[in-house]
Amino acid sequence: MRSIIKHEIKGRIRVHLICKRMSAKEADTLKYYMENQFGVSAVKVYENTADLVVWYEGEREQVLAALRAYEWGEVQVPEYYLQCSGRALNNEYREKLIMTVVRRAAKRFLLPIPVRNMITVLRATKYIWQGIQTLAKGKIEVAVLDATAIGVSVIRGDYQTAGSVIFLLRIGEILEEWTHKKSVGDLARSMALNVNRVWVKQAGQEILVSTQDIQPEDEVVVHMGNLIPFDGEISEGEGMVNQASLTGEALPVRKLPGATVYAGTVLDEGELTIRVKNAGGSSRYERIVTMIEESEKLKSNIEGKAAHLADALVPYTFLGTGAVYLLTRNVTKAMAVLMVDFSCALKLAIPISVLSAIREASNHQITVKGGKYMEAIAEADTIVFDKTGTLTKAQPRVRAVIPFHDKPEEELLRLAACLEEHFPHSVATAVVNAAKERNLEHEEMHSKVQYIVAHGISSTVNNIPVVIGSYHFVMEDEGCVVPQGKEALFDNLPTDCSLLYLGIDRELAAVLCIDDPLRKEAGEVIAKLKENGFSHIVMMTGDSERTAKAIAEAVGVDEYYSEVLPEDKAAYVEKAKAEGHKVIMIGDGINDSLALSTADVGIAIGEGAEIAREVADVTIRAFDLHELVTLRWLSTKLMRRIHRNYRTIVGFNGSLIVLGVAGIVPPTTTALLHNISTLGISLKNMQNLLSEEQN
């Protein structure tokens, strides 16, 4: 494809494509193609201007070569990717908005007044009927107020005012619907399934393959703590499946052979072999959209208050209208009160501001599952960090393998990787990567593996027990002993790294030294979090006292706890909440999931365990702790915006009522100004909260 480079800096390039305006499908196809190029980290396509922006970590020439090789129509894109992109939705509502304005202008200049009045009367019936239906339910809400304002204007023959109110209400409906659907879509896409490789059972063995190679009727093996990647039926095994993300059930559900499981749910316990029913991802996306639409999670407390207040104010608007008429006997002045109410702006502006903030968070690779969590983040005073994968890097490395066995070092590492590769944890990944770097290929040589949360893994090889994990698990729980003559080696193990113990047949076979370096930004982020109102920052880890103390002193937390179990983390969170604190928990592993679900806000970082991301209220996909500060800024600014909305709405509309009752401004003008202000506030609330400097 021919293109022109418009602008570039290191790691980012913007090009203009030599073509006509792209369709939504063409733009999504190009985006999908570039996203799947090696070294490309992010892509944006602007179909209206035919521009493409690529963020990359690889070689510049590779990106340009991929772009030159691209041809329209030659790329096969999964159907669900096109269905769920959101680009067509934006085009649809943009056209709706433009056509509504164009029709209004055309009617005003091309149609005679009697015809315009007749159209206004016909369109008024919709709003009047909605008001009657609301009254029939025994409610006096915003729909009744709108119906009364439009109906009274039509009865008085003031068709211009009625038409203006109807037009502005229609614009408001389009904007609200557009913003809501876009925000829900953005949120659903960020929550949608993102699994790249899965274990497939072939000829009695488990083979790791790409999800793109999976076909219906394939048998996929899911181990404990992992996300179920496809809809299907259980053919072997049993387990406890966490379905909270789709059904809202608080407790895991027992699943046996023959039961149906759904993509995106998490296997809390056990192991399942699933016969794939649907290899696509659209059903997962659609269920998430449905869940979000129906879930009260999306409502923050302040949103609920705004909606309640909006409806509660309607009777007072009617009372005010009646009072003004009784005192002045002037219908025009009474109409000034009826045409201006506080409820419409409150009901429209507040939800838009929350959904817009959630959308903005997604631009920073932050998924927030509901407005109430942003409200809680703004109010939180205590933050609890897990250490591994959060304050330390998400990709630790194996520095050394210290043998205590007659087996060679490579054989011991190969066995460790064979056990660890089934489980989603940064330390397990480090072991697997170390084996890959040494080209230690292996076939499955152990029996069924069992993962003991926060401790380790046990299995058997040729009917001989094999365990790997913490000192407590291997040496104390499993009773492994140091081989005779190796006591001095054991007593002088390195003290500047984390240690992973491998035991074979109740005897220590090897110790793996894991470098778990501190994130370079950790100390700075902790300091910024304190500057932004967190009065108590805590670190909790299963590591030794020595390691925990060193990390805590380096980053500057207020308090730390070492050698803790999952239930200890959750108990601390419960205790802090009972003392009146608003608590945020941050983690990435299976052992963090209990504390994540217990906290006021659970935040999962990076590419940790699927169960952690699933139970968390917020997921940060970026490998940079600064996004925690960004999230705090967003949440705080959102609350400020909402409170500012209250003041603006009350102040402006109150002034209009006073001017109308005083006879200074006629009802037509007050209605126009009221609706324009409502739209203006709503549009303002759709803008980003953070400045370019903060971004």
First-to-last CA distance in the chain?
Answer: 32
Q: What are phi and psi of 141, to 5 degrees?
A: -125, -170
The predicted-structure confidence for 89-107, as pLDDT tens digits, reads as follows: 888 888 888 899 899 889 8
Q: How far is CA 561 from CA 41, 454, 514, in A?
A: 36, 15, 20
The percentage of the chain sitting over the pLDDT mark of 70, rounded to a whole number, equals 83
Radius of gyration of the chain (CA): 30
Q: Name the superfamily (CATH) of residues 366-393+518-621.
A: HAD superfamily/HAD-like (3.40.50.1000)
**In this predicted model, what pLDDT tens digit does every residue of 303-350 receive, in sequence order?**
666 666 666 777 877 888 888 888 888 877 787 777 776 666 776 777
Contact 337, 317 (CB under 8 A): yes
Q: Which fold has domain 3-77?
A: Alpha-Beta Plaits (3.30.70)
| pLDDT tens digits for range 219-236 | 998 887 777 878 889 998
Q: Name residues whose C-beta falls within 8 Å of residue 641's C-beta, 6 or more positions apart in sequence.
A: 353, 685, 689
Chain segment 177-210, per-residue pLDDT in tens: 776 677 666 656 655 555 567 888 887 777 877 7
Provide the β-strand partners of residue 387. none
CA atoms within 13 A on the CB side of 426: 27
Residues 6+ apart with CB under 8 A from 451: 223, 224, 225, 422, 423, 457, 590
Topology agreement, domain 3-77 and domain 366-393+518-621? no
The contacts found for 444-452 with CB under 8 angstroms, 24 or more apart, are: 444/205, 444/206, 444/418, 445/415, 445/418, 446/418, 446/419, 448/271, 449/223, 449/419, 449/422, 451/223, 451/224, 451/225, 451/422, 451/423, 451/590
By the 8 A CB rule, do 85 and 285 touch? no
* Domain limits, the chain: 3-77, 92-188+296-354+636-685, 197-280, 366-393+518-621, 397-515
Q: How far is CA 502 from CA 124, 417, 419, 443, in A?
A: 77, 11, 10, 19
Tell me the CATH architecture of domain 397-515.
3-Layer(aba) Sandwich (3.40)
Provide the CA 457 distance to its chain's centre, in angstroms.
31
Calculate mean pLDDT across residues 39-60: 85
What is the reported pLDDT for 631?
A: 94
User: What CATH number is given for 197-280 in this structure?
Assistant: 2.70.150.10
Q: Which two tokens stand for residue 154?
A: 């039509």
Check residues 232 and 86 and name the one with the higher pLDDT.
Answer: 232
d(CA 580, CA 302): 20
382 confidence band (pLDDT: 50, 70, 90) = very high
Q: pTM for this structure?
A: 0.65
**Residue 276, exposed/middle/buried by CB under 10 A (0-12, 13-18, 19+)?**
buried
Please, which pLDDT band fits residue 483 given cuts at 50, 70 and 90? very high
Element (H, E) at 166: helix 159-191
